[in-house]
Amino acid sequence: MSEVIELTSANFDSVVLKSEKPYLVDFWAVWCGPCRAVAPVVDAIAAENSEKLNVGKVNVDDNQEIAQRYNVMSIPTIILFKDGEVATVSVGAVPKEELLSRISSYL
């Protein structure tokens, strides 16, 4: 089972951008209802794909500079990074199957 890492300004670049595996990053906030709805989806994808995917979460209230860097205007926003670059972006709470279909070609 893969652990979902809390990402911050201090560790984002070294953890996400230098990852050898694709990295799925969930941009969220405590007060965001749709973020809470999509959290179990992100956790399930992390658990089911741990051998080929890393997963982390960025609290946008605590790490606004990361959200700004990737133009996160609405949450939840889920970005898949591959080789340190943005591969695909999903905005809003989406079903697990839809999120998997968006990221599967990068895994």
Give the model's pLDDT for residue 54. 96
61 is a catalytic site residue: no
Catalytic residue among 7, 16, 24, 35: 35
pTM > 0.85: yes or no: yes
CB 34 within 8 A of CB 3: no
CATH hierarchy code of domain 4-94: 3.40.30.10
What DSSP assignment string belongs to 9-74? TTTHIIIIIT-SS-EEEEEE-TT-HHHHHHHHHHHHHHHHTTTT-EEEEEETTT-HHHHHHTT--S
CB 81 within 8 A of CB 16: yes
The predicted-structure confidence for 78-93, as pLDDT tens digits, reads as follows 999 999 999 999 999 9
Give the model's pLDDT for residue 3. 81
53 is a catalytic site residue: no
Question: What parts of the chain have a pLDDT lower than 50?
Answer: 1
Catalytic residue among 4, 25, 32, 38: 32
CB 26 within 8 A of CB 38: yes
Q: Domains of the chain: which residue ranges?
A: 4-94
Query: Which residue shows structure tokens 């959290």?
Result: 39
For residue 56, give both structure tokens. Answer: 């982390």
Backbone angles phi, psi at 100, to 5 degrees: -60, -40
Give the model's pLDDT for residue 2. 62
* 47, 79, 101 from 21: Cα distances, Å: 15, 14, 18
